[in-house]
């Protein structure tokens, strides 16, 4: 099975737009540290998170970028399979589960917490510099960007890319742009918020071409990392 990821909770292991390969468990046991795809019991949404503990018939799950375990407890019957491979751009990577996956998840969460701590310390200066546009004016070059419209089941999501890197996204049915750090220093957020009638292009707010359209669908479905 193949899925496209959307959502930040598994970053940096999985990022929005990653294509993942999911293998059924068959007779294999579910292990702590596995990356699993499961269906929420109260809706049809699919989630990919890492197994934090196995308490049959339930499993505790958690995102590598989340500070605490998930509030829900999926049952074994809700698990579609385990993630065995991730494809980002043209690069494919095997994703370990079990003890190796658990160790990687712990390291990823520690790194994410360190980044959050640093950002809390420097957040006032970062937001001030972004608001004033100081870095944009001082840089000797302009950041070239393009906008892509991705059709999701819940609506149209807009992505702002610099090369192949997604630096900002506006989720479906939302008017708010989420800008990846540190690109707020390079992108005029106010120009993004003015609407899609004047698509953003360069960091100084010059419009570029209209948003490209993309189905955004994987061979099977989209999957949330919440």
3-state DSSP of the chain:
CEEEEECCCCCCCCCCCCEEEEECCCCCCCCCCCEEEEECCCCCCEEEEEEEEEECCEEEEECCCCCCCCCCCCEHHHEEEEEEEEEECCEEEECCCHHHHHHHHHHHHHHHHHHHHHHHHHHHHHHHHHHHCHHHHHCCCCCCCEEEEEEECCEEEEEEEECCEEEEEECCCCCCCEECCCHHHCCCHHHHHCCCCCCECCCCCCECCCCEEECCCCCCEEEECC
Split at pLDDT 50, 70, 90, the class of 224 is: low
Every domain of the chain with CATH number 2.10.109.10 lies at: 2-101
**Quick check: 54 pLDDT over 80?**
yes
Q: How far apart are CA 81 and CA 111, in angstroms?
A: 27
Split at pLDDT 50, 70, 90, the class of 200 is: very low
CATH code for residues 2-101: 2.10.109.10
Residues 113-151 have pLDDT tens digits of 898 899 889 989 988 988 888 888 888 887 888 888 888
What are 126's two structure tokens? 């970062």
Phi, psi (degrees; rounded to nearest 5) at 11: -65, 140
**Quick check: 168 pLDDT over 70?**
yes
How far out from the chain centre does Cα 62 lie?
A: 15
Q: What is the mean pLDDT of the chain?
A: 82
Per-residue pLDDT averaged across 49-56, rounded?
A: 94
Predicted pLDDT of residue 181: 82
CB of 10 within 8 A of CB of 83?
no
In sequence order, what are the residues at sequence separation of 6 or more whose Cβ sits closer than 8 angstroms to the Cβ of residue 19?
2, 3, 4, 5, 86, 87, 88, 218
Split at pLDDT 50, 70, 90, the class of 19 is: very high
Predicted pLDDT of residue 62: 93
Residues 73-92 have pLDDT tens digits of 999 999 999 999 999 878 89
**Quick check: 31 pLDDT over 50?**
yes
pTM for the predicted model, two decimal places: 0.64
Split at pLDDT 50, 70, 90, the class of 195 is: low
**Quick check: 65 pLDDT over 50?**
yes
CB of 202 within 8 A of CB of 187?
no
């Amino acid at each position: 099975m193949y899925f496209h990821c959307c959502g930040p909770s598994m970053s940096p292991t999985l990022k929005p737009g990653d294509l993942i390969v999911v293998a059924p468990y068959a007779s294999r046991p579910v292990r702590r540290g596995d990356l699993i795809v499961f269906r929420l019991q109260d809706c049809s949404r699919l989630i990919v998170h890492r197994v934090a503990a196995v308490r049959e018939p339930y499993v505790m799950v958690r995102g590598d970028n989340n500070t605490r375990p998930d509030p829900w407890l999926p049952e074994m019957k809700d698990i579609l399979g385990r993630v065995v491979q991730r494809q980002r751009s043209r690069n494919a990577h095997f994703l370990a589960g079990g003890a190796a996956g658990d160790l990687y998840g712990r390291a990823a969460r520690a790194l994410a917490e360190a980044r959050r701590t640093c950002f809390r310390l420097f957040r006032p200066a970062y937001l001030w510099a972004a608001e004033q546009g100081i870095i944009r004016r001082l840089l000797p070059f302009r950041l070239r960007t393009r906008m892509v419209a991705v059709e999701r089941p819940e609506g149209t999501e807009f992505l702002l890319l610099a090369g192949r890197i997604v630096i900002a996204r506006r989720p479906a049915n939302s008017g708010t742009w989420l800008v990846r750090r540190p690109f707020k220093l390079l992108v005029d957020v106010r120009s993004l918020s003015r609407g899609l009638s004047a698509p953003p292009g360069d960091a100084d707010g010059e419009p570029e071409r209209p948003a490209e359209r993309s189905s955004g669908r994987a061979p099977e479905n989209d999957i949330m990392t919440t």
